[in-house]
Amino acid sequence: MGIRIEKTEAENFHKLDQIINRYKAQEGMLIRILQKSQEVFGYLPPKVQAYISQEVGIPISTVNGVVSFYSLFSQEPRGKYTIRVCMGTACYVKGAQEILDAVKEEIQIGVGETSMDKLFTLNASRCIGACGLAPVMTINDDVYERLSPADIPSILYGYIKTHKKAKVTH
C-alpha cells in the first residue's frame, strides 16, 4: 500500500530518504534511523513509521514496537523541552512522585502530555543510570539531581525565560 505524502512534508521526507540510504546497511540501523527521523520531524507519526518500514523492509509491527518501547521516541508532537522525571526504584524511594507532582502542578499537564504553548512535554522515565544522584529529572540534555519539589518552579521558570528571550531576539 502506498503512503500519501502532503506537499509541505516533501522536504522532510526527502531528508528521511537520505537518512535511510545513509544508515540502512549498518548494524542497529533501525534505532539510528528512528533517532535521526525524529530529529527531522520532531516526533514519529504513524506515516513516518510506515514509510521507514516500507523502505527498510522491516514489518511495521516491529518498527512500532521499537518506537513504543523506548521513551526516547515519541508518537505525538512534542514541546520544545521534554521533561523526564525518573521513576526508577532509587528515584522513587527518594521522592520522585513528589517531583512529578510538582512538575504537573507547575505546568498543568499530565504524563505524556504537551503544554498548550508547545513549550513542555512531560514524561516519566525508567532509570537513567544516575541512581546515586536521586531523585533525578532531565530537561532535553540538562540533568537535575537530588531534587526537592521546591526546586521545580525556578528550574522551569529558567526555560520559560530563555524561550521568551529567544522569541524577542528573533
Q: How far apart are the first and last CA of the chain?
A: 43
DSSP-based three-state secondary structure for 124: strand
DSSP-based three-state secondary structure for 165: helix
The residue among 48 and 137 lying less far from ligand FES, judged by its C-beta, is 137
Phi, psi dihedral angles at 36 (to 5 degrees): -65, -35
The residue among 119 and 131 lying less far from ligand FES, judged by its C-beta, is 131
Taking the complex as a whole, how short is the minimal distance between the CB of residue 87 and ligand FES, in angstroms?
Answer: 7
Joined grid coordinates for residue 156: 522551569
Which residues, 102 to 141, sit near ligand FES by CB under 6 A? 127-131, 134, 136
Could you say whether residue 100 binds ligand FES (CB under 6 A)? Answer: no
The Cα–Cα gap between 32 and 107 comes to 32
Pairing assessment for the beta strands 142-144 and 81-86 based on DSSP bridges = unpaired
Taking the complex as a whole, how short is the minimal distance between the CB of residue 101 and ligand FES, in angstroms?
Answer: 16
Run of H or E residues at 125: strand 120-125
CA dihedral 18, 43, 142, 133 (to 10 degrees): -120
The residue among 62 and 148 lying less far from ligand FES, judged by its C-beta, is 148
In the shown chain, the binding pattern of residues 68 to 97 toward ligand FES, with x for contact by CB under 6 A and - for none, equals ------------------x-xxxx------
Taking the complex as a whole, how short is the minimal distance between the CB of residue 130 and ligand FES, in angstroms?
Answer: 4
Joined grid coordinates for residue 89: 526504584
Taking the complex as a whole, how short is the minimal distance between the CB of residue 74 and ligand FES, in angstroms?
Answer: 20
Enter the DSSP assignment of 4: -
The residue among 33 and 96 lying less far from ligand FES, judged by its C-beta, is 96
Size of the site for ligand FES (CB under 6 A): 12
Binding region for ligand FES (CB under 6 A) = 86, 88-91, 127-131, 134, 136
